[in-house]
A = this chain, B = another copy of it.
Amino acid sequence: MVEQKLKTKNRSPGRPSRTGAFGNVSDLRDSILDHAELAFAEAGFEGANLREIASLAGVNQALIRYYFGSKADLFDECFRRRGGLLAGHRHVNLDRLLEISENPSVEDLVYAYLKPQWDMKYSSPNGAAFVAMQARLHAEPEEHALRLRREIYDASVKRYISALSQVLPQVPKDIISVRMAFLVGAYLFMLNDLGRIGDLTEGHLTSFGKDEMLDQLVRFLAAGLRAPA
């Protein structure tokens, strides 16, 4: 049996010195969030474990409580941090599109919506973790998960629905809404599952680059949105 101590860093208790060359006060707070993100993505809410998060983040477990409160609170904070960013990017992208032209193409709108999360996924391991976290959240039936999603995403989704509705006057708005839900399902699934799509393609997949895959998705979804009602 190896002495599995899961030791925390060799910092002494008490308020940390700010004199060090590095080390802003809230470094540890961020570190906790980063590692929590990874843990929740890998193991889900129940499966993630505070001791391990603390250990990997190099802090004492009680510090999590100090900063965030309960495990659920930590999860929420994780989610809000990046989720807010995402929603923001989507708003900005839409603003830009509408600035350029009154009637952007369906493809442009879909792309503007998808690109931010796509980029996030490939920007860093933590970005990818967030995508996985989100996919899991969408599969969870709990009331709480639902509220979180609403809080963070609803506003921007509704704006895209309106914009799509304007460029697709043949399609009634409530049908656009439903199709937007299909869109979210397809892209979340794909983004989270990308590594495995290969299973179905018998090896042909390697010919697709990442960006090409996004293009494929946009084309598929745009065609679906345009379908005659």
Contact = CB atoms under 8 A, between A and B. Distances in A.
Interface stretch (A13-21, A50-58, A96-104, A189-197): A189-197
A135 B139 contact: yes
A62 interface: no
A216 B141 contact: no
Interface in A123-151: 132, 135-136, 138-141, 146, 150
Contacts of A226: 223
Interface stretch (A25-33, A77-85, A169-177): A169-177
Interface stretch (A4-12, A41-49, A68-76): A41-49
Interface size class of A (residues with CB under 8 A): 35 or more
A205 interface: yes
Interface centre among A140, A205, A224 (most CB of B within 10 A): A224
Nearest to A172: B204
A38 to B, nearest CB: 11
Contact of A178 (B187, B188, B208): B208
- Give how many copies assemble into the complex: 2
A91 to B, nearest CB: 16
A220 B216 contact: no
A199 interface: yes
B204 A173 contact: yes
A43 B144 CA distance: 13
A180 B154 contact: no
A63 interface: no
Contacts of A92: none
A44 to B, nearest CB: 6
B192 A177 contact: no
A221 B226 CA distance: 11
